[in-house]
Amino acid sequence: MIIAIVTNGPVPYRIPALNKLAALPGIELHVLFCCRREPNRSWDLPAIEFACTYLRERIIQIGDRYIHNNPDVLPALRRLAPDVVITSGFNPTHLYAFAYAWLSQVPHIVMTDGTYDSERSLSLLHRLVRRLVFARSKAFVWASIGGRQLFASYGIATARCFRACLCVENTRFADDARRSEPAFDFIFCGRIEAVKNPAFAFDVALATAALLNRKVRILYVGSGSEQARIEEHAARHPALVEASFHGFASQQDLPLLYRSARIFLFPTAWDPWGVVANEACAAGLPVLVTPHAGAAGELVIDGENGFVCDLDVEAWSARAALLLTQPATYAAFSARSQALVKGFTFDTASDGIMAACRHAAAAVQRH
């Protein structure tokens, strides 16, 4: 079976699953990337062990979104002559690939990291395009329960939907050896931009310091336009909060950085999933997260391995103080994080994509 996947660009949390998919017997995988890297991404990538093509980059920026328009995806698909076409979005490039599949009578699969909540604000035109594509697709791949809910909202039967979770290499973050006392109370990891609410994380640290009647330390990993504002804010409260800024971290450095802290703060205003939650859980950290992350309620379970809270400093700091002052509760949450994340693996993700391909191919044969 020749499988063609058309997607924006290589990302570290998908490449290992695709490597496993390509290694399956009887499978020839070819991934068509719209670009080598989107302008707002600075991550390092694992080795790519599957055939891939980088299309001629044609990116249009609208606000903080990048729209890909690569007409050369059509001749690339004609050369490949795939048995199945998978698209991971609704940019013009993805729609060209869908049109190729439809006109060539090749089974098409929709793959999304999006959720019902993340797509609530779509325009009527965007929804109409999705209905057109969904009606002519044979299988659907979702990354989170929110993605399954999204497909259900369009009337897609559960039997046509398959899970390919977002994940990390859990064993790299786990540390079975006894850890020394972490240097930081909190860690924030991600882009230091307004949508991620890094300033809120500092306010939580500040309020927690007042509750504990001691100075607390927070580590920021990442970079972005909000850093200077947080540094200025921290300079006004040196007796209560020490904020450290690591900057960009390689995949190799991340496990040790997570293990240098006790609690992961994830106050995002919008995240279809949030792979940083996987990293934190694999490292054994309890997670405080907003309901606006796809991982909330699925990987981070309120009251089990973290807390799912709206953006309320008082609520977050009270829960943080509980974890930092109750060793038994903290240990239970830490162990639960590592137990829950074991269900999110690259093997599981690869199996889900493969099952969708088999279903799509069988659906065509039946007709």
| Gap between the Cα atoms of 286 and 46, Å rounded | 27
Domain boundaries, the chain: 2-167+345-366, 170-341
Helix axes 73-80, 92-104, angle to 10 degrees: 40
Give the global pTM. 0.92
Tally Cβ neighbours within 10 Å of residue 228.
Answer: 10
Residue 131, pLDDT above cutoff 80:
yes
Confidence of residue 181 (pLDDT cuts 50, 70, 90): confident
User: How much is the pLDDT for 365?
Assistant: 67
pLDDT of residue 43: 73
Task: Provide the residue type at 354 as one letter.
Answer: M
Write the pLDDT tens digit of every residue in 277-327: 999 999 999 999 999 999 999 999 999 999 999 999 999 999 999 999 999
Per-residue pLDDT at 19 exceeds 90: yes
Helix (H, G, I), strand (E, B) or coil at 267: coil
What would the mean pLDDT of 139-167 be, rounded to a whole number?
97
Tell me which of 45 and 207 has the higher pLDDT: 207
Task: Tell me the C-alpha distance between 156 and 58, whole Å.
Answer: 32
Q: Decide if 2-167+345-366 and 170-341 have a common fold.
A: yes
Q: What is the DSSP string of 173-186?
A: H---SPPPPPSEEE
pLDDT at 178 (0 to 100)? 47
Which tens digits make up the pLDDT trace of 67-118? 999 999 999 999 999 999 999 999 999 999 999 999 999 999 999 998 998 8
Mean pLDDT of all residues belonging to the chain = 95
The C-alpha atoms of residue 266 and residue 262 are separated, in whole angstroms, by 13
| Phi, psi (degrees; rounded to nearest 5) at 29 | -100, 135
Distance of CA 164 to the CA centre of its chain: 12
What is the Cα gyration radius of the chain?
22
What are the structure tokens assigned to 237, written together? Answer: 């409260």
% of the chain with per-residue pLDDT over 70: 98
Q: What does CATH list as the number for 170-341?
A: 3.40.50.2000
User: In angstroms, rounded to a whole number, what is the distance separating the alpha carbons of residues 276 and 255?
Assistant: 11
Q: What region, left, alpha or beta, does residue 24 occupy, with left being phi > 0 and alpha being psi -120 to 50 degrees? A: beta
Structure tokens at 324: 């930092």
Residue 138 pLDDT greater than 60, yes or no:
yes
**Strand, helix or coil for residue 149:** helix
Q: Is the dihedral of CA 132, 133, 138, 140 positive or negative?
A: negative
Q: Which two tokens stand for residue 261?
A: 């802290």
Task: State the Cα–Cα distance between residues 337 and 141, nearest whole angstrom.
Answer: 25
Measure the CA–CA gap between 94 and 89, rounded to whole angstroms: 6
> How far is 164 from 142, CA to CA, in rounded Å?
6
Contacts of 121 (CB under 8 A, 6+ apart): none
Q: How far apart are CA 11 and CA 32, in angstroms?
A: 13
Q: What is the pLDDT of residue 65?
A: 81
In angstroms, rounded to a whole number, what is the distance separating the alpha carbons of residues 184 and 217?
5
State the pLDDT at residue 149: 95
Burial class (CB in 10 A: 0-12, 13-18, 19+), 237: middle
Asked if CATH classification 3.40.50.2000 holds for the domain at 2-167+345-366, the reply, yes or no, is yes
